[in-house]
Amino acid sequence: MAWPGQPAPLHAKTILAYYLVWYAAPPHSTEWGWHWTMDRFQPDRINALGEREIASWYQPWIGPYDSGDTVALEYHALLMRIAGVDAVVINWFGPENVFDYARIDQNLRRFLPLLEQAGLQWALCFEDRSLQAPEPANLRSDPDPIPRAISILRHAARVYFNHPNYLRWQGRPVLLNFGPQVLRNPGQWQQVLNSLDPPPALFTINTPAPGAVGAFAWPPMWLSQAPGTDGVLSETALHRYLTDFEQSARTWPAAISTAFPRFHDIHPRAGVRGYWGYLGDRAGATFRQTLQRALTNATPMAMIATWNDFGEGTQIEPSGEFGLRDLLTLQELRRTHVDPAFAGTPQALELVRRLYLHRRCSGTNSARQAELDAAARALGSFQFREAAALLPPLEPTVTRGPNRPDLDTK
């Protein structure tokens, strides 16, 4: 498949953001998706603050959204670019018509032109637990997961890996695996990789699986289950984990360090899984310290986990609780440690939010939407003065509160 556009240039340290495209919300979808409800919460209930009852301790600044809504996707892409992200790692289960996997794949396709317009690169993180899902009707059941994995990743190679903005390491497409959870036996991943031409540069969690070039760090919540922890991941245990990861990474061809703001999981309250632990936000200090460490160590890439996992509370996406705080930290530390000439500003982040609100208020006004298209292009090109001229301030009645129901349902 041919794609237009050119990849954005990268710096010595590539900053990644882990992103989920699995949310469903009206009116873009006919009903609220599981990741907003977890079969317990009712987003149609709205409190006195205008906040919907969702499966999260936190409220997105724009309210709960649909991952197929290009207005929300544009908002995210531009925020990430202007905050200092270079590439987006997209959680992906494959294209099969099982559970919500096909819809996630469709949302990914909708996202790509907006990532390209924003000048962002991207990569896939394959959830190999999808290999345990029921076979689609057009597939014959096979107890061996390898043929299915090969089929899924050949699809990725054919459809996605040749995208000009696809992230590469030493010329090879970067592929993360959230696991391995199924392909755990020695040689299984190697067999899958050998079937792909070129084989992607594979990164697995914590330690490299056979055939992988390296690994990526992830919030080590299992450490909060140790005796005497009271279910809380301490600052000491967290930094010991990061030190051990960095020391191990010295022996690998490559590694991806990870920064995270907190872990405050709603799943136990929803009754859908047990308690995995808690990592405190510490008024932004957890994110600042882990990000500074990830940006200053020897790994070639640093990933933020996550942009928008509201279920586990690891998001840095602007929220009613934290606003732009974590994005401002990212701008500051990128400028300090990676790119002194980085031009992203707090005011430009506010312009992205203003663009989102103008999109919602302008509805089907095609002439105004064309002007907003020009504003989006200007923001993606860091032409902030030109964008501001197209995005006048909105009336206070339009901008009050982060989750106005009449805006997030238009």
Instruction: Name 181's Cβ contacts closer than 8 Å, sequence gap at least 6.
Output: 127, 128, 129
Domain hosting 156: range is 14-344
pLDDT < 70 regions, the chain: 1-11, 137-142, 396-410
Domain count, the chain: 1
CA angle 405–408–409, rounded 5-degree value: 80
Q: For residue 407, is it within any domain?
A: no
Give the CA radius of gyration of the chain: 21
Q: For residue 129, is it within any domain?
A: yes
Contact yes or no for 316/330 (Cβ under 8 A): yes
Contact yes or no for 153/188 (Cβ under 8 A): no
Alpha-carbon distance 204 to 213, whole Å? Answer: 9
Listed in sequence order, the DSSP H helices in 70-200 are: 70-83, 101-117, 145-159, 188-194
Q: For residue 198, is it within any domain?
A: yes
Alpha-carbon distance 296 to 389, whole Å? Answer: 37
> Locate tokens 């009613």: which residue?
320
Alpha-carbon distance 254 to 189, whole Å? Answer: 17
Instruction: Name 395's Cβ contacts closer than 8 Å, sequence gap at least 6.
Output: none
Q: For residue 216, is it within any domain?
A: yes
Q: Positive or negative CA dihedral for 300, 198, 114, 127? A: negative
State if pTM tops 0.85: yes
Q: What is the pLDDT of residue 395?
A: 72
Q: For residue 82, is it within any domain?
A: yes
C-alpha distance from residue 219 to each of 208, 216, 235, 400 (Å):
17, 10, 12, 35
Q: What is the pLDDT of residue 142?
A: 63
Tell me the three state secondary structure of residue 124: strand
Tell me the three state secondary structure of residue 14: strand
Instruction: Name 396's Cβ contacts closer than 8 Å, sequence gap at least 6.
Output: none
Considering only CA atoms, which of 23, 89, 16, 88 is closest in space to residue 258? 16
CATH number at 318 reads 3.20.20.80
Token readout for 202 is 């594979």
Q: What is the pLDDT of residue 408?
A: 37
Q: What is the pLDDT of residue 138?
A: 60
Q: For residue 6, is it within any domain?
A: no
Q: For residue 383, is it within any domain?
A: no
**pLDDT tens readout for residues 87-142:** 999 999 999 999 999 999 999 999 999 999 999 999 999 999 999 888 775 665 66
b/e sequence 175-191, b meaning 16+ C-beta within 10 Å = bbbbbbebbeeeebbbb
Token readout for 67 is 């991952």
Q: For residue 366, is it within any domain?
A: no
Q: What is the pLDDT of residue 31?
A: 97
Alpha-carbon distance 113 to 118, whole Å? Answer: 9
